[in-house]
Amino acid sequence: MTTSTSHLQSHPGLNLGAAHGQAHADAEPVVFGFWIFLMSDLVTFAMFFAVYATSLQATAGGPGNADIVDVTSIALQTGALLVSSLLFGIATVAMKHGSAARTVIFWLIASLAFGLCFLGLEVRDFIDAADKGAVPMRSGYLSAFWALVGLHGLHVAVGSVMILVVCTQIAFFGLASDVKTRVLRLGLYWHFLDIIWIGIFSVVFLPGLLT
Amino acid sequence: MEHFIFGRLGWDDIAIFDVFRDPTVSNIVGSSAGWLAVIGGVVVAALLLIKGWWRPLLFEWLNTTDHKKIGIMYIVVGLVMFARGVAEGVVMRTQYVTAFEGGYLTADHFSELFSTHGTIMIFFALMPFLIGFMNLLVPLMIGARDVAFPRLNQISLGFTIVGAMLLMVSLVIGKFATGGWTGYPPYTGVAFQPGTGPDYWIWSLGLSGIGSLLTGLNFAVTIYKMRCPGMTYLRMPIFVWTALCTSILLIFALPPLTAVVIMQALDRYLDFHFFTNDLGGNMMNFANLFWMFGHPEVYILILPAFGLYSEFTAIFAGKRIYGYTSLVIATMAIAVLSFTVWLHHFFTMGQSPTINVAFGIATMLIAIPTGVKVYVWIATLWGGRIRMRTPIIYLAGFILFFAVGGYTGILLANPTINFTVHNSQFVVAHFHNVLLPGTLFAVLASIYVWFPKFFGFRLDERWSATTAWLFIIGFTFAFMPLYMVGLMGLPRRSPAFDDPSYIPYMIVTMGGALCVFAALCTLIGTFVVSAKRREELAVPGGDPWDGRTLEWATPSPVPEWNFAFLPEVKCQDAFAVEKAQGSAYKIEREDFEDIELAPKSWIGLTIIVFGTLLGFAMVFWIWWLAVLSALALLAHAIGLGFVRDEGEIIPADVVERTERDWIAAARQGQGTDRTDEVSARNRGFSARITEA
Ligand code: HEM
Ligand SMILES: [Cu+2]
């Protein structure tokens, strides 16, 4: 990338390299591209939200939202996900301030642990729902519910695998600048999933809790 | 056990044997097509082996990340699929000729034909054509060495090929869907079509959709971040603008398709109830989601074509494009508006008149920027020194017919009129009217224009012009009568009819379809004839048409590294201005440097192989194979994060030699006069070099 230097301002927190020059220039298209990917993914989620919103009445006499939402579990899941995000943030800050690779890995794994807690609780909720007969095959509403919440869960699962991959890469290559931008992108992804979760919380679970 | 190994695949699924089991006419036609595919595959494989072509195929093409080769592969895939699509079109038109007597194909076979035909033409012919041209032209036009993510580009191509492969496989094993390219449930749900058809549809669209999305991402980043110094937004060639809008559309319009395909898959595989008739399913969600993708999709198909027209109109009119800024604004306006009109595809499905009116008005609004464009092309021609080469023949056909297609579009945008003609042949006439003269002609003309750039020789003028006329005449007869038949009441997607007054029209359209088929043959002939005469037609100078934008400022074929030095531009149409000032073809710098190219990669091939296996396994419920293929894809993708290969280095002296040879040749004064440009005197040096 020897192209125009006028775009070079962003990723101030990354501390990519000594003079930042080439490393920043290299990071520019990759990070920008990842933002675009997230925008696109956001639209995918929007479609699942829209279908969910139009399916609220489509319970076909089966269980509705209020029948399957477990307040405590949702609160715990929200907590776990947000703490996980916070820990990821700490990992990024550690990376910026030149901590040892081991420290960064430590925080990433901590973040992963909370992500896994989230997933565990979510799976438990799904199993509970299924026990109550609220399987996705039961009604259009439940299909939309499982698909929307499940899609988010799937994203978290993929993110968890990616945390492991990135940790391995840190172990292999140290905090090289291309690894750093990967951590940065994974962080964006991880925080993005929080935002989606807030959406799910407000659109799916809150109304269920209020009724 | 057998069930475990083969899923639901059985001997009966091998469609090419249908003809032996039950030799009806319909089966003979279907199986012949299958055999054709098989024989074609075998011949290609044999040629690869015997002639030793597998080596360059593997090591120069399939593992390359060079945007130019990837672009060419896109276009080749498009041509192969287009040939199949045209053949299916002809078979369907033959059916219509005999449809009064009930037709010679079974209703199911006919439905399968229009489903594969539509799917192929849209996703595996026109889209690969346009994405191919984006690959070929965008990096060169913005003065870059490659796209932003060369390996991702290969991945995109891989997924596109996977989709195309699945469609070809469906010809031989199992059946494709009968629900049209739109695949509306509940008709495509398990209740009505338990077989493999809709699953083929799901996986070919779903997997190739990933590729398209990544293409959009790649080109958006390329255009935003990789422009050469001085290439401000308002100096970008119009084609780059349209490519940018297309990328934005791909980024935002593909997700609804992904979502709808996932939901349809969940319905079919796991018994969900998104779109089923019972238990709260709601097919209106499908219609909305599908067309939220589908309408922007038609602009994905037309905007780059508009860009191509803009570029070569300026070239062959010998002046710069008229109204550049208005063209840019019009393009952006269309891109934005295209997200606000999707409902016009189902005016009749029960929403309130108010909603229909809103969407009808939004649709008509699009006519305004589109009209602006047509005037811009006409104004560009006005007062220009037009050379009647093949592209201008296509352009003439385009301006004339696209206007007609546009008018009928406005008619369809009016909900009251739409109620009477929807789902009739009128609609078939309309969309062929915009897609053929709009997109297809643009692609064919552009093949003529840019072929010499990438292969080093021009296409034979006589053959090219003949092809153009055949396409135009064929199009006229094949589709114009359908407006009448539509108004007379013949529905689309109908295998039979009971009113003899349609028959004369059907014979005419059949003739038109044959003419299009002839055009396809002469198109292939053009390549063969031109390849034979390539010495005579060679244009090593790289600028056979007196081009205006940066891609012409390179030798033909373009070296792998595109430019010895990244260009610096000071105005629009930089190369044209340089030539006019006599400052083209100069070596201004001596500091030649090594150039590092993007590393080669095998991920594309992995995707082609395991992606196709994955799709096939899912269609036939061969779960173990599906899991293995998915794991193979994942493993390769994750593994890529661990390899840090260096790209190939082109040494500075090679770069320097190539550049100096080319410029020396250009300076020998072999410049061609425009009147001479289709003669053997055209060696691709257009500039009048003024020794300054
Ligand atoms: C060579 C010329 C072609 C012929 C003879 C032809 C013929 C046909 C016929 C007979 C149909 C079925 C109409 C019906 O269902 O009543 C059809 C449908 C269709 N064609 Fe073509 N076609 C041609 C080229 C193209 C091209 C270049 C495109 C480009 C996109 C295209 C896109 C479609 C689509 C999208 C459908 C609708 C399929 C569906 O109903 O799901 N066709 N064509
Ligand atoms: Cu539309």
Closest CA to A141 of A64, A44, A48, A50: A64
Pocket of ligand 1 (CB under 6 A): B 86, 89-90, 92-93, 114-115, 117-118, 121-122, 126, 180-182, 428, 432, 435-436, 440, 478, 492-493, 513, 516
Closest CA to B466 of B425, B512, B526, B407: B526
- Its sign, for the CA torsion B359, B365, B367, B370, is negative
Q: Hey, which residues 198-237 in chain B have their CB within 8 Å of chain A?
A: 213, 216-218, 220-221, 224-229
Contact between chains at B566 and A140 (C-beta distance less than 8 A): no
Q: How far apart are CA A141 and CA A135, in angstroms?
A: 10
- Mind listing the pLDDT tens digit for each residue in A20-69? 567 777 888 999 999 999 999 999 999 999 999 999 999 999 998 888 88
* Phi/psi-derived region of residue B669, left when phi > 0, alpha when psi is between -120 and 50, beta in every other case: left
Q: How far apart are CA B264 and CA B283, in angstroms?
A: 10
Helix crossing, A71-96 with A101-131: angle to 10°?
160
Instruction: Quote the tokens at residue A29.
Output: 């298209």
Which residues of B fall within a CB distance of 8 Å from A144? 274
Q: How far apart are CA B94 and CA B104, in angstroms?
A: 9
- Banded pLDDT at A19 (limits 50, 70, 90): low
What pLDDT, on a 0 to 100 scale, did the predictor assign at position A3? 40
- Total residue count of chain B as it appears in this document: 692
In this predicted complex, what is the ipTM? Answer: 0.94
- Its sign, for the CA torsion B10, B182, B349, B274, is positive
Instruction: Quote the tokens at residue B634.
Output: 């994942």
Which amino acid would we find at residue B689? I
Contact B530, B459 (CB under 8 A): yes
In sequence order, what DSSP letters do the residues of B52-104 get, joined into one string? TTHHHIIIIIIT---HHHHHHHHHHHHHHHHHHHHHHHHHHHHHHHTGGGT-S
DSSP state of B554: S
Q: Hey, which residues 146-185 in chain A have their CB within 8 Å of chain B?
A: 146-147, 165, 168-169, 172-173, 178, 182
Helices (H), B228-350: 238-270, 283-317, 324-337
Mean pLDDT estimate for chain A: 89
Asked if the bond preceding B599 is cis, omega within 30° of 0, the reply is no
Helix (H) or strand (E) segment spanning residue B400: helix B390-413
Instruction: Quote the tokens at residue B182.
Output: 């739109």
- Mind listing the pLDDT tens digit for each residue in A186-210? 999 999 999 999 999 999 998 877 7
Q: Is B271 on the interface with A (CB under 8 A)?
A: yes
Residue B173, SS3? strand
Task: Give the residues across from B538 on adjacent strands.
Answer: B457
Q: Three-state SS across B435-498?
A: HHHHHHHHHHHHHHHHHHHHHCECCCHHHHHHHHHHHHHHHHHHHHHHHHHHHHCCECCCCCCC
Q: Identify which of A43, A60, A169 has the shortest CB distance to residue B641.
A: A169
Please list, in sequence order, all residues whose beta carbon lies within 8 angstroms of the beta carbon of residue B175, skipping any fewer than 6 positions away.
B15, B112, B195, B196, B197, B200
Q: Identify which of A33, A43, A58 has the shortest CB distance to residue B148.
A: A33
Find the A27 Cα to ligand 1 centroid distance in Å. 45
Instruction: Quote the tokens at residue B122.
Output: 């849209």
What pLDDT, on a 0 to 100 scale, did the predictor assign at position A21? 67
Instruction: Quote the tokens at residue A167.
Output: 């940790």
What pLDDT, on a 0 to 100 scale, did the predictor assign at position B163? 97
Low pLDDT (below 50) residues in chain B: 691-692
Q: Cα-atom radius of gyration of chain A, to the nearest Å?
A: 20
Contact between chains at B280 and A139 (C-beta distance less than 8 A): yes
Whole-model pTM?
Answer: 0.95
Which amino acid would we find at residue A185? R
What pLDDT, on a 0 to 100 scale, did the predictor assign at position A53? 95
Q: How far is CA B663 from each of CA A114, B243, B541, B553, B590, rounded to the nearest angstrom?
A: 63, 31, 9, 10, 14
Residue B596, SS3? strand
- Banded pLDDT at A1 (limits 50, 70, 90): very low
Instruction: Quote the tokens at residue B165.
Output: 């492969």
In sequence order, what DSSP letters do the residues of B174-232 get, joined into one string? S---SSTTTT-TTTTSTTT--SSHHHHHHHHHHHHHHHHHHHHHHHHHHHHH-PPTT--
Contact between chains at B272 and A33 (C-beta distance less than 8 A): no
What pLDDT, on a 0 to 100 scale, did the predictor assign at position A10? 53
Q: How far apart are CA A3 and CA A32, in angstroms?
A: 15
What pLDDT, on a 0 to 100 scale, did the predictor assign at position B347? 94
Closest CA to B123 of B203, B179, B61: B203
Helices (H), B582-622: 603-606, 612-619
Q: How far is CA A176 from each of CA A24, B410, B437, B438, B559, rounded to the nearest angstrom?
A: 12, 57, 52, 49, 33
Q: How far apart are CA B188 and CA B265, in angstroms?
A: 11
Q: How far apart are CA B116 and CA B87, in angstroms?
A: 11
Q: How far is CA B665 from each of CA B315, B392, B555, B684, rounded to the nearest angstrom?
A: 23, 30, 10, 10
What pLDDT, on a 0 to 100 scale, did the predictor assign at position A4? 40
DSSP state of B570: S
- Banded pLDDT at A142 (limits 50, 70, 90): very high
Contact B200, B177 (CB under 8 A): yes
- Banded pLDDT at A9 (limits 50, 70, 90): very low
Phi first, then psi, for residue B660 (nearest 5°) are -70, -40
Asked if the bond preceding B452 is cis, omega within 30° of 0, the reply is no
Q: How far apart are CA B236 and CA B239, in angstroms?
A: 8
What pLDDT, on a 0 to 100 scale, did the predictor assign at position A5? 41
Find the B242 Cα to ligand 1 centroid distance in Å. 25
Please list, in sequence order, all residues whose beta carbon lies within 8 angstroms of the beta carbon of residue B293, skipping any fewer than 6 positions away.
B253, B254, B255, B256, B257, B260
Q: How far apart are CA B238 and CA A142, in angstroms?
A: 48
Q: Is A31 on the interface with B (CB under 8 A)?
A: no
Residue that has been written with the tokens 């296409």 in this structure: B459
In sequence order, what DSSP letters do the residues of B115-165 get, joined into one string? HHHHHIIIIIIIHHHHHHHHHHHHHHHTT-SS-S-HHHHHHHHHHHHHHHH
Helix (H) or strand (E) segment spanning residue B650: strand B649-650
Q: Which bound ligand lies closest to the C-alpha atom of B471?
A: 1
In sequence order, what DSSP letters do the residues of chain A get, joined into one string? --S-GGGTT--GGG--SSS-HHHHHHHHHHHHHHHHHHHHHHHHHHHHHHHHHHTTT--TTS--HHHH--HHHHHHHHHHHHHHHHHHHHHHHHHHTT--HHHHHHHHHHHHHHHHHHHHHHHHHHHHHHHTT--TTS-HHHHHHHHHHHHHHHHHHHHHHHHHHHHHHHHHH-S-HHHHHHHHHHHHHHHHHHHHHHHHIIIIIHHHHH-
Which residues of A fall within a CB distance of 8 Å from B263? 51, 143, 147
**Is the pLDDT assigned to residue A17 strictly greater than 70?**
no
Q: Identify which of B280, B285, B641 has the shortest CB distance to residue A165.
A: B641
